[in-house]
């Protein structure tokens, strides 16, 4: 029973490997037909990497503006506006001092 599953799994893996290799071959052939030399490809790859880093920086800045640090600062400001619970107001008992 296990041998049957092993055969089917290896057959599926072989077909997957064949598909991936044919796809890679088609992509390389398409790149060769694009009349780009390897220097241009390297420059384009570098440009894409630079754009990705810039987008990540912008996203990090935007997330930082909405992050928990800002919320904690606002929470601290609100807590400072509340009266101090340690200083209790005198309880009125109907008597005035003296």
Give per-residue pLDDT as tens, 33-74: 877 778 888 888 999 999 999 999 988 887 776 655 666 777
| Four-CA torsion 23, 29, 33, 36, nearest 10 degrees | 90
Q: Kindly tell me if the per-residue pLDDT of 93 is higher than 60.
A: yes
Q: Of residues 97 and 80, which shows the higher confidence score?
A: 80
Residues 16-34: b if buried by 16+ CB within 10 A, e if exposed: eeeeeeeeeeeeeeeeeee
Question: How confident is the model at residue 66, as a pLDDT?
Answer: 61
- Threshold 0.75, pTM exceeds: no
Q: Kindly tell me if the per-residue pLDDT of 16 is higher than 90.
A: yes
| pLDDT average, residue stretch 15-26 | 94
């Amino acid at each position: 029973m296990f041998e049957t599953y092993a055969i089917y799994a290896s057959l599926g893996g072989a077909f997957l490997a064949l598909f991936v290799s044919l796809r890679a071959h088609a992509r390389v052939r398409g790149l060769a037909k694009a009349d780009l030399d390897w220097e241009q490809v390297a420059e384009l790859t570098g440009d894409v990497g630079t754009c990705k880093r810039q987008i990540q920086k912008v996203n990090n800045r935007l997330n930082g503006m909405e992050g928990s640090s800002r919320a904690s600062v606002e929470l601290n400001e609100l807590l400072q506006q509340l009266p101090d619970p340690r200083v209790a107001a005198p309880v009125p008992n109907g008597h005035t001092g003296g």
